[in-house]
Amino acid sequence: MAGVIPHLDRVPLWAAFIPLGLYLLAVGGAHLSRRPLAIGGGWDWVLLGAAVAGLMVVGPLALLQPAMGNAPWTVILLLVLFVLLVALGALVSRPRLVIYNITLDQLRPLLADVVTALDTSARWAGSTAALPARQLEVRIDGHGPWRTVSLVAGGERSGAEGWNELCHRLRQKLGGVRVRVSPWAALFLPLGAAVLVASCWMAYASSSPGGPVPAAPATSSGEEPDAGSRRPDAS
């Protein structure tokens, strides 16, 4: 039975890098677009977790598997544990809207129009807007030169209905905005392509006749070596 137990350390390294390469290409494509891309914070976290899933499988999860014994369900348990951790991170985080390829100066007037339309009694304090009629408080977080801005729901109580309406209207506003191509596209796109090309090269090298040969499974102390593998006695 032990021979059919899947081992995470047997997952090829090239397969672990494919999700990361695809994620880098997607981020580069968002920065290449002339329209800002708005995505929910929960989905942004899930996509990041999917990007590093392969590296987690061949790294920490593969190291934890031997400590959990030789039961066939250890692989499933470890993968479910990783999925639960990603889901927990998405659930416990504050409501967030991540907007790619836009600057803080470009987003603030758009958000101000949406806030005023939702609540005429809204008040601004720095980068935070309070909408008392909607029981909502939002904060703008700019990520320096990355041309990525996050809109975060703050306060003790944030009305889900008001937050959803604000995100919907802001997405509509962003649909009519044209921005220049972000210079970060020149970094993420080649980097993602390089990761995928390297993964394909490693896959080809491992499958070619001169590629690495997987090690033979170790025999237990009580097993005899196969008859075909015995050396003939010296005459």
CB 41 within 8 A of CB 150: yes
Higher-scoring residue by pLDDT: 185, 214 = 185
Tens of pLDDT, residue by residue over 55-106, are: 999 888 888 888 877 677 888 888 999 999 999 998 888 899 999 999 998 9
The better pLDDT of the pair 131, 233 is held by 131
Encode pLDDT of 100-157 as tens digits: 999 998 999 999 999 999 999 999 988 899 988 888 899 999 876 788 999 998 766 6
| Residue 13, C-beta contacts closer than 8 angstroms, at least 6 positions apart | 58, 202
Whether 224 shows a pLDDT value over 90: the answer reads no
Q: How many CA atoms lie within 13 A of 79 on its CB side?
A: 12
Is the CB of residue 128 less than 8 Å from the CB of residue 137? yes
Q: Which two tokens stand for residue 30?
A: 């968002």
Contact call for residues 142 and 149 (beta carbons, < 8 A): yes
The pLDDT score that the predictor gives to residue 115 is 93
Predicted local confidence at residue 142, as pLDDT: 83
The answer to whether 113 touches 124, Cβ cutoff 8 Å, is: no
pTM for the predicted model, two decimal places? 0.79
Length of the chain in residues, anyone?
235
Rounded distance, CA 197 to CA 205, Å?
12
Whether the pLDDT of residue 229 is over 60: the answer is no
The stretch 184-197 carries a mean pLDDT of 96
Number of H helices, E strands in the chain: 8, 6
Task: Specify the pLDDT at position 180.
Answer: 92
The amino acid occupying position 25 is L
pLDDT of residue 2: 44
Which H or E run includes 123?
A: strand 123-125
> 104-118 and 160-175 are packed helices; what angle lies between their axes, rounded to 10 degrees?
130
Per-residue pLDDT band at 207 (split at 50, 70, 90) = confident
Amino acid at 44: D
Q: Could you tell me which residues are beta bridge partners of residue 149?
A: 99, 142
Residue 111's pLDDT is what? 94
How many other C-beta atoms can be found within 10 angstroms of the C-beta atom of residue 67? Answer: 7
Task: Examine the pLDDT at 227 and tell me if it is beyond 60.
Answer: no
Q: Token pair of 197, please?
A: 């090309």
Residues with Cβ within 8 Å of 89's Cβ and at least 6 positions away in sequence, in order, are 45, 49
Residue 208 has pLDDT above 80, yes or no: no
Task: Determine the average pLDDT of the residues in 167-176.
Answer: 92
Q: What is the pLDDT of residue 40?
A: 94
> What local confidence, expressed as pLDDT, does residue 157 receive?
60
Number of CB atoms found within 10 A of residue 92's CB? 7
What's the whole-number average pLDDT of the chain?
84
pLDDT confidence bin for 235, thresholds 50/70/90: very low
Among 131, 102, 127, 117, smallest CA distance to 168 is for 117
**pLDDT of 212 above 70:** no
